[in-house]
A and B are shown apart, each in its own frame.
Chain A
């Protein structure tokens, strides 16, 4: 794992991050930090992690030169195929890493929050592999729109606990997971699924996901003999983007572009474009950009993709926005559906609706890519889980019958 220059010892990324939690959790976060720092230096831990990454997750994932997609959007495109990870998304990179840390802390029970269900499935998978008890909090709305993943979690031996408060999506599932952790902190580890939450979670999740960018950077250099002009990924909480970006942060010539969900349009108020239109605040344990009203109440968010449907974002992204190292843009539900179909038909790859946001933005990005340059995109997950939503949104029988 790379040396982390950020965050500072107390979890700050510039003005963001930190640790804003009820006192009950402070000792657990200290224990997690100490254990994790020891793991990071421990050859046996790192060897075990490398072994499961290679033989269980299927790493390294391919870097794929998407020629037909490139022709369509108008620039050279490489896809980092995290959709080919075991369980179908990048989430397994973090879930397995943290489950190994939980095992080392001797905690027999794991909890997680999930939106699209991909982190829930990844956590349930890691817990099955490592013989840990697993409870996953999931909003009722998400249980409805991601039913396939609920069945997968059940089959893997996890309990899925429906959350009926608030907007019944990822934010509320995270609230319930935090409440459970406060109550059961002595025997339970909370596997936070994105680069959010109190210190040390944003750092730990980034470190476990940063393998994406390290592999992609080396694979790109091998294929092309240099660096891509632009690296892009979708951003909800921001774990696949941070995992992809991290290795490229020191490469000043490489543009980093995060794509948020503009939902029904930023102007409608029904979106999750946190970095684009939010302002700094504190939610779920860290200071970061946040969708909130003038009184500091968190606003409900909307996205067609459950995995991006979250009013917060990782603190390191807020820092990278503030310093200008990364740019953040947003793409609507409708545009994402265009991206979803475009990749399916040009390359025979059905992307997750989350990743489809980044695909869709390629069309805007392509004219800004210099001649001879390339765009590198993190294809964070596959789209099987989204069939029902996509069929509904696109009109039954149209897209899926090969109609125009």
Chain B
């Protein structure tokens, strides 16, 4: 079992749920990003999702689009993000999952990326525009390197798709809470319990839920249903507000502490 799965299992066995925190690699700069990841891990994040920026992030809303652009402007590339993982790994044992789109990884080389990511200390990777249908080569590369693969499920997924995705995920199943792009929303989708029930009926893998979850209250509600709660844009917004300053890491850590309270069972 991978560190990622062990960590989620351990949380599950003590009635806790994972807080999965998304940060954009290289935002605002690669050096600051490493600081922020360490602070977020120390503040209680159970899993870190580290974004690798892509010029055309078509599943992302304005917050993460802007974060990706800041990171690209700061010179962030795949090797730079792997460096961030390496640096963070010196002090932090929290599982790290890299999240990006297929093209930068294709350009780097699938096998080379899987091997280098695992060696840098990453636990898994999510390629947003790679569904199981086209993923054979990627799965083989990731399996050979010991890197976990996480695929997405959506509210539109059929039972067959849920089974297929469940079977191929070796970290957790990433359940997209709503039809739409990433970004903070005022309300949770009302059909979320029904969606989770459909997912649970087809897979027993741990399920993380994300897209549009930004407040401690929302985290608490989703933690009743899922094994992990994913928060992205809200954290990215805090980093954006701080700009390239030493305030970014403590500001992100403070938000994480307040969110983490929502995943703990009384």
Residues on A facing B (Cβ under 8 Å) = 10, 18-28, 165-166, 171, 175, 178-179, 182-186, 281-285, 290, 292, 294-298
Question: A296–B108 Cα gap in the complex (Å)?
Answer: 7
Q: Which of A23, A182, A282 has the most CB of B within 10 A?
A: A23
Q: How close is B134's CB to chain A, nearest CB, in angstroms?
A: 5
Question: A27–B176 Cα gap in the complex (Å)?
Answer: 14
Contact (Cβ within 8 A) A26 B179: no
Contact (Cβ within 8 A) A296 B58: no
With CB as the reference atom, state the residue of chain A lying closest to B57: A175
Contact (Cβ within 8 A) B158 A20: no
Contact (Cβ within 8 A) A282 B106: yes
Question: A24–B59 Cα gap in the complex (Å)?
Answer: 10
**Listed A/B pairs (9) with beta-carbon separation below 8 Å:** A21-B129, A22-B128, A22-B152, A23-B156, A26-B156, A27-B157, A27-B161, A28-B156, A296-B104
When distances are taken between beta carbons in the complex, the residues of chain B under 8 Å from A26 are 131, 133, 154, 156-157, 161
Contact (Cβ within 8 A) B102 A297: no
Q: Any chain A CB within 8 A of the CB of B22?
A: no
Q: Which of B61, B77, B102, B161 contacts A23 (CB 8 A)?
A: B161
Contact (Cβ within 8 A) A183 B106: no
Q: Any chain A CB within 8 A of the CB of B239?
A: no
Within 8 A of A (CB), among B5-26: none
When distances are taken between beta carbons in the complex, the residues of chain B under 8 Å from A179 are 58-59, 61, 181
Q: Any chain A CB within 8 A of the CB of B2?
A: no
Question: A21–B106 Cα gap in the complex (Å)?
Answer: 15
Question: How many residue pairs between the two chains, A and B, have CB atoms under 8 Å in the bound complex?
Answer: 111
Contact (Cβ within 8 A) B153 A295: no
Task: Given A10-B133, A23-B152, A171-B56, check contact A182 B103 (CB 8 Å).
Answer: no
When distances are taken between beta carbons in the complex, the residues of chain B under 8 Å from A21 are 129, 131
Q: Which of B56, B65, B72 has the most CB of A within 10 A?
A: B56
Contact (Cβ within 8 A) A19 B134: yes
Contact (Cβ within 8 A) A19 B181: no
Q: Count of B residues near A, CB < 8 Å?
A: 39
Mark interface residues in B133-171 (1 if CB within 8 Å of A CB, else 0).
110000000000000000111111110010001000000
Q: Which of A25, A282, A285 has the most CB of B within 10 A?
A: A282
Residues on B facing A (Cβ under 8 Å) = 54-59, 61, 65, 72, 77-78, 101-108, 128-131, 133-134, 151-158, 161, 165, 176, 179-181
The 4 A-B residue pairs with the shortest CB-CB distance in the complex, in nearest-first order: A296-B107, A296-B104, A24-B154, A183-B180
Q: Which of A18, A184, A281 contacts B106 (CB 8 A)?
A: A281
Q: Which of A18, A28, A185, A290 contacts B103 (CB 8 A)?
A: A290
With CB as the reference atom, state the residue of chain B lying closest to A171: B56
Q: Which of B59, B104, B131, B158 contacts A295 (CB 8 A)?
A: B104
Q: Which of B72, B101, B107, B156 contacts A24 (CB 8 A)?
A: B156
When distances are taken between beta carbons in the complex, the residues of chain A under 8 Å from B54 are 296-297
Question: A19–B134 Cα gap in the complex (Å)?
Answer: 7
Question: A295–B103 Cα gap in the complex (Å)?
Answer: 9
Task: Given A23-B153, A27-B156, A186-B156, check contact A295 B77 (CB 8 Å).
Answer: yes
Q: How close is A31's CB to chain B, nearest CB, in angstroms?
A: 10
Contact (Cβ within 8 A) B165 A23: yes
Task: Given A23-B154, A27-B157, check contact A294 B131 (CB 8 Å).
Answer: no
Q: How close is B62's CB to chain A, nearest CB, in angstroms?
A: 9
Contact (Cβ within 8 A) A23 B151: yes
Given A26-B161, A179-B181, A182-B179, 4 other A-B residues pairs in contact with their CB atoms under 8 A: A20-B131, A22-B154, A23-B151, A23-B154
With CB as the reference atom, state the residue of chain B lying closest to A12: B134
With CB as the reference atom, state the residue of chain A lying closest to B76: A295
Contact (Cβ within 8 A) B181 A183: yes
Contact (Cβ within 8 A) B107 A20: no
Contact (Cβ within 8 A) B154 A183: no
Question: A275–B254 Cα gap in the complex (Å)?
Answer: 49
With CB as the reference atom, state the residue of chain A lying closest to B101: A282
Contact (Cβ within 8 A) A19 B56: no
Question: A26–B151 Cα gap in the complex (Å)?
Answer: 13
When distances are taken between beta carbons in the complex, the residues of chain A under 8 Å from B58 are 22, 175, 178-179, 182, 284
Question: A28–B104 Cα gap in the complex (Å)?
Answer: 26
Contact (Cβ within 8 A) A296 B176: no
When distances are taken between beta carbons in the complex, the residues of chain A under 8 Å from B107 are 281, 292, 294-296
Q: How close is A181's CB to chain B, nearest CB, in angstroms?
A: 9
Contact (Cβ within 8 A) B103 A298: yes
Contact (Cβ within 8 A) A298 B108: no
Contact (Cβ within 8 A) B134 A296: no
